[in-house]
Amino acid sequence: MNFFIRVLKTLFGIWAGILFTISMIFSTMCFFLVFSIASKKKAPHIAHRYISRNWAKLIFPIFGVRVRVKNRSFIQPDKTYVFVANHRSQLDIPAYAIACKNTLRFLAKEELTKIPFLGYVINKLYISVNRKDKAARARSMDNMIASLREGISVFICPEGTRNKSNEPLIEFHDGAFRLAILAQVPLAVMTVLNSGKLLSPLHPIELSPGTIYCVWEKPIETLGMTEEDIPNLREQAKDLMKKQIEAFESRSAISVLTS
């Protein structure tokens, strides 16, 4: 029975992957049009509001995936933040776009810029970084600070990669927290729940329909903080995410036992 279910999930995942590729080709054409016509200042706002978010809202229903956002009112759509969230599934990126109305730039690994179609989008909308190069990391920090100064938020996954472990979270890097403190902008923490159950990082083509939950916390003000506060800010964000994950898993376990 489990084998049969896995086969169905794989076939569903392959079908979803084909649709995803088609949607990326079409979206890339839209991004190209926006960045060719709109001004450099307006293009990122138009791209995020009208393409990225609508693309995510389109593909998720096709995949049988719903997104429920809790505490959206905590985030002011016209304010600039450093956003941080946990990362366990390939479904997370579209979920981030749906959960966040603010124009933003993701921090992405440089190697992703080499992927056809996606690479173009990343070059235009993301800030890429070569994590193995100290000078490149410094440049990306400067670019992120410049983005915040422009009024465009920055979205970082402090785990640095998808969490493939059995732990709620893996080790956090300091970059996001250093950025929030250096730029003196609020840190907005979001926890994504259940995405790994729908598309596991260990089985990245076995897709299941279901619901992803995105939970916002009240933004943490960094005004007056210094780099000495980075460890405390990092642990505060990690604790908030961990509590949400553990509470969700406890509710899920109780639901299974009582069903």
Sheet holding 127-129, edge to edge: 65-70, 210-216, 187-193, 82-85, 153-156, 104-109, 127-129
Measured between alpha carbons, how far is 200 from 217 in angstroms, rounded to an integer?
25
The sign one gets for the Cα dihedral 35, 37, 42, 47 is negative
2-258: CATH class: alpha beta
Tens digit of pLDDT at every position of the chain (259 positions): 687 888 889 999 999 999 998 998 898 899 889 989 999 889 999 999 999 999 999 999 999 999 999 999 999 999 999 999 999 999 999 999 999 999 999 988 777 777 777 777 777 778 878 777 778 788 889 999 999 999 999 999 999 999 999 999 999 999 999 999 999 999 999 999 999 999 999 998 999 999 999 999 999 999 999 999 999 999 999 999 999 999 999 887 555 444 4
Q: What is the pLDDT of residues 38-83, one digit of tens each?
A: 998 899 999 999 999 999 999 999 999 999 999 999 999 999 999 9
- Structural domain boundaries in the chain: 2-258
Is the whole model's pTM more than 0.85, yes or no? yes
3-class DSSP state of 106: strand
What are the structure tokens assigned to 145, written together?
């600070």
